[in-house]
Amino acid sequence: MVNFRKNQRNTLWSIGNTIVMPTIMLIVTPFFINKLGIEQYGIWAFITSITSAFSILNLGGGEATIKFVSKYIGSGSRDDVYRVISTTLLLNVILAITSAFIGIALSFIIGEGHLQNISDINKQNSTVAFRYSIGIFSLKLIEQIYVSVYKGFQRYDSATKLNLLTKIIVTVLQVIVVASGGSLNEIFKFSFYLVAVTIGLEHLFLVKYLKGFKLQIANFRQSVREVFSFGLWAWIYSVLGLLSSQLDKVIIGLYVGAVELGYYSVAIIVYNQIHTLMSSSVSWIFPVISKRNKIDKELVRKYFSFQIRVIALGTVFILFVFIFRGEIFKLWLGEQTYMNSIGFIVIILCVNLLNLPSIVPYFFLNGGGYIKLNTLLKVSIIIVDVIGVYFGYQIGGTIGILLSKLISPILIGGINRTYIHHKILKYKALLSGFYLNGITYLLCSVFLVIAGGLKSNLGSIGVILFIIFGIFIIPTLFFLKREVRINF
């Protein structure tokens, strides 16, 4: 009962963390667009994308902290818990300093006219804004360890409070700056100063929570090797994910322009918030499995139970958003922004649908120590994504890039999940990874037909996909019937 209540508490706090910030962003994004203009908002999105590329310097310290803190708590070794925290914290401080120096050097390149179709003054301002953005990123590398420590202790309530407090304070500050007529530079500058103060406070709170924690440098080299045994693969995974998630925005920013990127970024916000919401409902299983240090029969049963729940809840939520898309997004964005971005949003809702079955396997594999397999499977997805983005842009511009995002979850995602079921879970049902997507396949094709119309190119793609995916619906229903009977 205690574990059930803890898991329930962690789920609610994780979901709460995911709901609060998207709700705030739903309110403030139209405000930012109206006050700054779509060009400056597009520049903001571009700077954020370039800054995200610095995640290549994030060597997986956060994931490794959760993994090993939960592991050593399970074995009762408090000294090893402190040793791991010291190691990952010191590593991320070094990485934060490194990223700051590299960012300052690259900032001189950012303002040299690489953004298309924007004014000269905005090109100059983007240089300064980028420097502050890199400073914020560097500080967030340190904060990542603080948040991960609480997650390793399975205190998602504390992690959420810490994370939310920082984000809400920074967002309120940004609103105040924009409302006062501040520029993009001032938004990033004041955000940097505020984040620096909150990081210092977070360190004090963490020391108090750990009761006697002090940084340890003894056996540092050995600890680094241990952390990298997991963290290095987590880093490779994050770099691959970064490439996949940012390549499209960089291409649009460089070759199409900041205005188009602004509308495209609205759709990406929708995707990220929905995907994060669904992921947060089961993210707590990562430290739980790490604590057991294996995937047993009980966890295999829970795997399919979690899968069905996440897919069912996610499908219902996304279907609701699609049906009431006019009311929701016109209220949120206003008429003009809605008309220019709704095509992007409909396609991104399809991507959300198709990626629902990928959420649970990610946490199960990482918790079970299969981070290397998780990363190698990600490689196959990235290859398809990169090829898809390139050819999608050549064929259909921005819409082509978005449509290319449907390929990897349809094809590679199903293959990868089937492999996981056979290799790790010892579940031998043929093509089981595809069956989990059967209903979402059909819904995705219906979305495209309704949004584009039968005579449009988008609608034609939807009709073709509906015919192809129809063959999965019968085995999907049989598969779900069997799993629901066993697991519920």
**pLDDT tens digits, 168-189:** 888 888 888 888 887 778 888 8
* DSSP of 276-302: HHHHHTTTTHHHHHHHHTS--HHHHHH
pLDDT at 45: 75
**Both structure tokens of 460:** 């034609």
Which helix H or strand E contains 333, and what residues bound it? Answer: helix 325-333
Mean pLDDT across 349-362: 88
Which helix H or strand E contains 217, and what residues bound it? Answer: none
Among 67-76, 225-234, 471-480, name the one with the lowest average pLDDT. 471-480
pLDDT at 320: 92
Q: Does the residue 481 lie in any domain?
A: no
Among 117-131, 198-212, 241-255, name the one with the lowest average pLDDT. 117-131
In the predicted structure, residue 6 carries a pLDDT above the cut 70: no
Question: How far apart (Å, rounded) are the C-alpha atoms in residues 341 and 76?
Answer: 52
Among 307-321, 364-378, 425-439, name the one with the lowest average pLDDT. 425-439
Q: Does the residue 303 lie in any domain?
A: yes
Q: Does the residue 14 lie in any domain?
A: yes
Which helix H or strand E contains 472, and what residues bound it? Answer: none
Domain count, the chain: 1
| 3-class SS letters over 15-72 | HHHHHHHHHHHHHHHHHHHHHHCHHHHHHHHHHHHHHHHHHHHCCCHHHHHHHHHHHH
What is the CB-side half-sphere exposure of residue 180 using CA atoms within 13 A?
12
Q: Does the residue 286 lie in any domain?
A: yes
Name the residue range of residue 183's domain. 2-436
111: confidence class by pLDDT, cuts 50, 70, 90 = low
Mean pLDDT across 17-24: 68
462: confidence class by pLDDT, cuts 50, 70, 90 = confident
Q: Does the residue 471 lie in any domain?
A: no
Q: Does the residue 485 lie in any domain?
A: no
Question: How far apart (Å, rounded) are the C-alpha atoms in residues 439 and 444?
Answer: 9
**Both structure tokens of 290:** 């790490």
CA distances from 69 to 72, 78, 291 (A): 5, 9, 9
Residues near 478 by beta carbon (within 8 Å), at least 6 away in sequence: none
430: confidence class by pLDDT, cuts 50, 70, 90 = low
pLDDT at 459: 74
Q: Does the residue 267 lie in any domain?
A: yes
In the predicted structure, residue 351 carries a pLDDT above the cut 80: yes
Q: Does the residue 483 lie in any domain?
A: no
Highest mean pLDDT among 25-29, 195-199, 415-419: 195-199
Residues near 131 by beta carbon (within 8 Å), at least 6 away in sequence: 103, 104, 107
Q: Is 340 helix (H, G, I), strand (E, B) or coil?
A: helix
CA distances from 182 to 20, 29, 136, 147, 173 (A): 25, 16, 18, 31, 11
